[in-house]
Chain A
Amino acid sequence: MIELRHLGKTYKTADREIVALEDINLSIQDGEIFGIIGLSGAGKSTLVRCVNLLEKPSSGHVFIDGEDITEFDRKSLLRLRRSIGMIFQGFNLLEQRSVLRNVTFPLEVSGVKRAAARERATELLKLVGLSDRAESFPSQLSGGQKQRVAIARALATNPKYLLCDEATSALDPNTTRSILELLKKINQTLGVTIIVITHEMKVIYQICDRVAVLDQSRIAEEGRVSEVFTNPRSEIARKLILPERIGISWQKDSSAIRQEV
C-alpha cells in the first residue's frame, strides 16, 4: 500500500517560491489501478516522483508498505526503486542497445547473471507482445512498440508497483488503447499496482479503479472512477469530464465551454 500523508513540495528559485504540491493525502491499495488527473502544471508529475523519491518532498511523509521512505538511506532507496517500476512519456530507451538488452539493463546493473537476465527479458518481451523484435534496435520501432519495451524494462526487476507518467500522451488513440490494455493485463495477471498520471480523461475511464483530481497543487476530488464521472463535485472535475460527456452537443455549447476551459 502506498500512503501519502500531508505531502508538500515547494521549489525555491532565486527570487520566489513555487508551490507544486500542498497537503496531499492519498492511500493507494495493493492491486488497484489508481489514476491521477489534472491540467498541465497541476503538480501530477511532481506527485508521482515523490513516490519513488525522484523528488524529495519538502514536507509530509510517504509510506510504502508501512515504511516511511522519506527517511530511507541510499541503499534502501535503491532497493525501493527496484520494487517500483516507472515509465515515461518519452520512452528513454538506450538507443545503442537492442530491445532485449534494454530489458536486461536494469538487471545487469543490479548484478543479475547474464543468462538469468536474458531469460527474464525474453519472458517479459513475450508478455508485452514483442518476442519477434528482441534483436531490433529502438530506432526501428514505432512509438507504441517503444513504450512496450519500456514497460518490459520497468517490470524486469519484478516490481510491486508501476508508475506511469503520461505514458500514453505521445501516442495516437489506437496505440494508446492497446498500451492501456497491456497495463490492465499486467495489473490483472501479475497483480502489479499501477499509478497512472494523465491529463486525458479517457485514460482514466478506460483502466482506472479510482481517481484523484489534482488542481493547483491540491487534491480537488477523489473517489471511484464511476462516481467521479457520474457525479463530479469539483469544478475542475466537471471541466475535465465535460467535453467527453457532452459528445454531440459540444458544437452547440462550444463557445460557453471554451470560455469555461
Chain B
Amino acid sequence: MPDLGLDVLFKGRNFARLLGGLGIALKISVISILVSIVLGTVLGVLRQRENLLLKAVMRLYLEIIRIMPQMVLLFLVYFGTARSFGWDLSGETASVIVFSLWGTAEMSDLVRGALSSIPLHQQESALALGMQKAQVYRYVVLPQAVRRLIPLSINLITRMIKTTSLVLMIGVVEVLKVAQQIIEANRMSSPNAAFGVYLTVFVLYFLMCWPISMLAGRLEKRWG
C-alpha cells in the first residue's frame, strides 16, 4: 500500500487544527447563508411587484454578481475597499459580505422563480373562494413555492459551503489553508502528506454537505 501520509494528521494538534479551520469555513458559510435566506426571500417577494425602478436595480445587481467570479469579488471587497475607502475589513468580514451578496442575489432569483411558478389561476381560485390575500399566500402559494424552493436552495447552500475554500486567497485561515500549512510544515518528515491531508479535507467537506442533501431529499419526499 502506498504511503498516503495520513500519519501527519496524528502529529501534535494537526487534526484539531484542521477541524478548527473547518469551523471558520462553516462560520462564514452559516452566517452568509442565514443572511442570504432572509434578504433573498424579502427581495424575491419584492421582485414580484411591478416596480420598474426596483426591477432595474435588482437586474443590475444580479447580473453583476452572476458575471463576477467569486474570487474577484473577494479581492474587490478585501483589497479594493482597503485602498479606495480606507476600510480595514478582516478577511472573515470581507468573506461574509461577499458570500452574503452572492447568496442573496441567487436566493432572490430562486424565490422569485418559485413564486411566479405558481399559476395565477390558483390564486384567483383561492380569492374567489373568499380568502384574504394573506390566506392565499399562507395556504396556496407558500406551501407550493417552498416545496419547489427546497432542492434549489439546498444546491445553493452546498455551493456556498464549498466555495468558502476560496477565502484562503484573502488570508483567512480556513480548513484548506490549515491543510496547506500542515503539509508545508511536514515537507521533510512526511513528503507524501499532501494526499492524505487533502483527502481528509475532502471527507470533511463531504460530511458537511451530505447530511444537508439527505435532509433536502427527505423534506422533498414529505412535502412532495
Contacts and interface: CB of A to CB of B under 8 A. Distances in A.
A154 B130 CA distance: 10
Interface size class of A (residues with CB under 8 A): 20 to 34
A81 B132 CA distance: 10
Contacts, number: 52
A57 to B, nearest CB: 16
Range class of the B interface residue count: 10 to 19
A92 B128 CA distance: 11
B121 A153 contact: no
Contact of B139 (A90, A109, A153): A109
Given A96-B143, A109-B135, A109-B139, A82 B130 contact: yes
A22 to B, nearest CB: 22
B140 A94 contact: yes
Contact of A105 (B127, B129, B132): B129
Interface in B148-175: none
B143 A106 contact: no
A190 interface: no
Contacts of B116: none
Contacts of A84: 128
Contacts of B139: 94, 105, 109
A88 B124 contact: yes
A122 interface: no
Contacts of A163: 128
Contacts of B135: 109
Contacts of A79: 130
A127 to B, nearest CB: 18
Contacts of A238: none
Given A94-B140, A96-B143, A109 B131 contact: yes
Given A81-B127, A109-B139, A92 B121 contact: yes
B125 interface: yes
A81 B121 contact: no
A157 B125 contact: no
21 contacts: A49-B124, A54-B124, A54-B128, A78-B130, A78-B132, A81-B128, A81-B129, A81-B130, A82-B130, A85-B128, A86-B129, A92-B125, A94-B139, A94-B140, A105-B139, A106-B129, A106-B131, A109-B129, A109-B130, A154-B129, A157-B130
Interface of B: 119, 121-122, 124-132, 135, 139-140, 143
> 3 nearest interchain CB pairs?
A82-B130, A86-B128, A92-B125
Given A81-B130, A92-B122, 9 more contacts: A54-B124, A54-B128, A82-B129, A84-B128, A88-B124, A106-B129, A109-B130, A109-B135, A153-B129
